[in-house]
Structure 1
Amino acid sequence: MGIVVIKLGSSIVCDDAGHPRREVLEQVCDDAAALHAGGRDVVIVTSGAIARGMGVMGLGMRPRAVDELQAASAVGQGQLYRVYDELLTERRVATAQVLLTFFDISARTHYLNARQTLQKLLDWRVVPVINENDTTTTDEISFGDNDFLAAQVSILLGAEQLVLLTSTDGLYTADPRLDPSAEIVPLVEDFDALAELDIRQTTTTLGSGGMRSKVVAAEMATASGIPAVVANGKTAGIVAAAVAGEPVGTRFPARDAGYSSFKLWLKYAKQARGRLAVDAGAARALREGGTSLLPVGITEVGGGFDAGDAVEVVHDGAVVGKGITNYSAAELRRVQGMKSAEARAILPRASDEAIHRDYFVLA
């Protein structure tokens, strides 16, 4: 039996006043407990701490200032987890609260440590209830209503299925609130084709996500071989139906993108700290030849970064890919456009490659 990751958005965790939707949470916990009893491991990724804090404090609109978001999360996080713990304990399932930040996912050593901790909890047959640690994050609320976080948790654990629960029945051809002719999209196999659809990053007064962030999360998960479903979390039995393969919501089948777990982490989780513009020859070699990037192919260095940071590689304004650089920004500015021998003369200990092919992934 595999691992099922269930992600709940703010709009289904809390109502417009910031109070927990207990009936919805009971339904989801019913499904989670049944999957758990059937031998599967279950991980819950939840939003709603800020929304719950807003409800407690009587705030009408989601704050914009970081300190207010953090304070609202501090008020709401414990109360939100308590609801999950009570509901799952009633169903004879042990739980653990896990708070993660963007740094925990983007820093490789922290990423591996998070995986080890979560795996040990699953070995103990404990259901982790995961949320972003909004109280200490310094990057705004950076996981897009935790859709990105849910996808990353699925990838790092090698999940069997990702179920993204929202307040609509799935992905529509347009926003059904604005276009009465909008139709649900039952299956997505070609993400490029979605460019023709009107997928907005609309949010509620309580949330920070939207359908676009869910599509990106599904793209991330499926690229690592994990099927995803976007479905209406207010529908009873929806998680069980999604895991059973029933035609609910919008399904995103697993794909074989050919990426290792390291390159998936690099592509989706490692934040770029700068940008390297390259000439046409270097761009072609990276795209078609799978080669390393040498200083001679670099035409411009943007940003301030250190060796070991991730940088975007671009040509004519289009992103070619992302890689981990062997040079700092200052060093690359000194050797850009130079052949390897010339670069070594200026920086004797420098690597021949600005970015080695093993540490580069195409966009």
Structure 2
Amino acid sequence: MGPVVIKLGSSIVCDDAGHPRSDVLAHVCDEAATLHADGRDVVIVTSGAIARGMGVLGLRMRPRAIDELQAASAVGQGQLYQVYDELLTVRGVATAQVLLTFFDISARTHYLNARQTLQRLLDWRVVPVINENDTTTTDEISFGDNDFLAAQVAILLGAEMLVLLTSTDGLFTADPRLDPSARLVPLVEDFEALGALDIRQTTSTLGSGGMRSKVVAAEMATAAGIPAVVANGRTSGVIAAAVAGERVGTRFPAREAAYSSFKLWLKYAKPAHGTITVDAGAARALRDGGTSLLPVGITAVGGGFDAGDAVDVVHGDEVVGKGISNYAEAELRRVLGLKSRQARDLLPRASEEAIHRDYFVLA
């Protein structure tokens, strides 16, 4: 059985002044230690380094410039981890600080190395405390918020459950701060039905996430066969209740895992560097037949991608899926629309498939 991945947002890690919420962190660490003592593996994914840095520096508003965010994170990260380490150490739990960037997840070799390291820590009965490495990340490769990071960690480790702790009781039909008639949604089994709800990507003074990012994270996790719960991290006992299957927060049941771990990585972690436009026949064959994509079905390419890059495969305005291209854009432009034999005559060492079915995943 995989670990329980617990994610804490900035709004429950730190107060509005950027000071750690000691009571919240204490009960979270209490519950993490109890799970650990019961033999479960536990991983904590935390936000709050920038918020803590803002508190130390006396900044009233979250910076916007990337260098200011990095500097605030550098000030706050060590202090934040120290809080977790002290709280868990006195409860008999060893911890390890792990800082990840988007590159660590999007590059396959780094992804596998991260998984091996985290699994070794769990084998040693250590609780990893994970945060994005804000000090070195850039606005081009940032996770944007740690909900995505937590979902990726859950998928990477084959987690038992993903628990997303926030400052509300779960997902509501509208923002309860703005709409007093908003109702808690206790169970989500159909993500498409959520389109009717007012789920905003709002941000707080300290944080960068919102409920929409939590729904996306839950969708990612459940697609990998991992149940997720969004719940109020300020409520004592909420983690234990979520793991026990009790009615708490908003529960997202696991769906049947349709993809291998490689294809989950491709679908959710590998960024696309270009587009391949296909005709109706190729789009239908990819969706319904599980076939490889051949040059003959391609009508256009764009984005400046290289062989080995991930690309979005589109038909009209619809994204059909994502795959690893066997061709660079310039090469594929020369053979698009050609049958495989014609493509090989033009580029003798070219692959028969533009994208092999083993390296393609539907959107």
Shift of 1:2: 3.9
Q: How does 1:23-62 map to 2 (within 5 A)?
A: 23-62=23-62
CA distance in 1, matches of 2:189, 2:304: 38
Q: Secondary structure at the match of 1:188?
A: coil
Q: Secondary structure at the match of 1:320?
A: strand
Preserved contact between residue 101 and residue 141 of structure 2 (Cα < 8 Å): no
Shift of 1:105: 0.5
Do structure 1's residue 159 and structure 2's residue 163 form an aligned pair?
Answer: no
Q: How does 1:199-210 map to 2 (within 5 A)?
A: 199-210=199-210
> Cα–Cα, structure 1 residues 68 and 103, in superposed 2: closer, same or farther, change >3 Å?
same
Shift of 1:62: 1.1
Preserved contact between residue 10 and residue 145 of structure 1 (Cα < 8 Å): no
Preserved contact between residue 164 and residue 228 of structure 2 (Cα < 8 Å): yes
2:67 matched to which residue of 1?
67
Q: How does 1:106-145 map to 2 (within 5 A)?
A: 106-139=106-139, 142-145=142-145
TM-score (norm 2): 0.98
Q: Secondary structure at the match of 1:53?
A: helix
Moved more, 140-149 or 283-292: 140-149
CA distance in 2, matches of 1:14, 1:235: 15
Moved more, 38-47 or 141-150: 141-150
Q: Secondary structure at the match of 1:348?
A: coil
CA distance in 2, matches of 1:346, 1:301: 18
1:311 matched to which residue of 2?
311
Q: Secondary structure at the match of 2:95?
A: strand
Identify unmatched segments of 5+ residues in structure 2: none
1:277 matched to which residue of 2?
277
Shift of 1:51: 0.8
Q: Secondary structure at the match of 1:351?
A: coil
1:226 matched to which residue of 2?
226
Preserved contact between residue 134 and residue 141 of structure 1 (Cα < 8 Å): no
Q: What letter is aligned with 1:360?
A: F
> Cα–Cα, structure 1 residues 164 and 285, in superposed 2: closer, same or farther, change >3 Å?
same
Q: What letter is aligned with 2:235?
A: T
1:20 matched to which residue of 2?
20
1:264 matched to which residue of 2?
264
Moved more, 138-147 or 3-12: 138-147
2:342 matched to which residue of 1?
342
Shift of 1:147: 0.5
Preserved contact between residue 46 and residue 146 of structure 1 (Cα < 8 Å): yes
2:216 matched to which residue of 1?
216
Shift of 1:257: 3.8
Q: What letter is aligned with 2:43?
A: V
Do structure 1's residue 240 and structure 2's residue 240 form an aligned pair?
Answer: yes
Do structure 1's residue 332 and structure 2's residue 332 form an aligned pair?
Answer: yes
Q: Secondary structure at the match of 1:119?
A: helix
Q: Report Cα offsets for 1:24-51 as digits up to 9, x if no partner.
A: 0001000000000010000000000111
Q: What letter is aligned with 2:158?
A: G
Preserved contact between residue 101 and residue 133 of structure 1 (Cα < 8 Å): yes
Q: What letter is aligned with 1:198?
A: D
Q: Secondary structure at the match of 1:172?
A: coil
Q: What letter is aligned with 1:68?
A: E
Preserved contact between residue 203 and residue 209 of structure 1 (Cα < 8 Å): yes
> Cα–Cα, structure 1 residues 160 and 355, in superposed 2: closer, same or farther, change >3 Å?
same
1:96 matched to which residue of 2?
96
2:355 matched to which residue of 1?
355
Preserved contact between residue 13 and residue 24 of structure 1 (Cα < 8 Å): yes
Q: How does 1:288-299 map to 2 (within 5 A)?
A: 288-299=288-299
Number of residue pairs the alignment of both structures matches? 363
CA distance in 1, matches of 2:142, 2:236: 30
Identify unmatched segments of 5+ residues in structure 1: none
Shift of 1:140: 5.1
Do structure 1's residue 83 and structure 2's residue 86 form an aligned pair?
Answer: no
> Cα–Cα, structure 1 residues 144 and 79, in superposed 2: closer, same or farther, change >3 Å?
same
Preserved contact between residue 96 and residue 126 of structure 1 (Cα < 8 Å): yes
Shift of 1:141: 7.1
CA distance in 2, matches of 1:331, 1:66: 36
> Cα–Cα, structure 1 residues 265 and 279, in superposed 2: closer, same or farther, change >3 Å?
same
Q: What letter is aligned with 1:241?
A: A
Q: Secondary structure at the match of 1:221?
A: helix
Q: Report Cα offsets for 1:331-354 as digits up to 9, x if no partner.
A: 111111111122112211110111
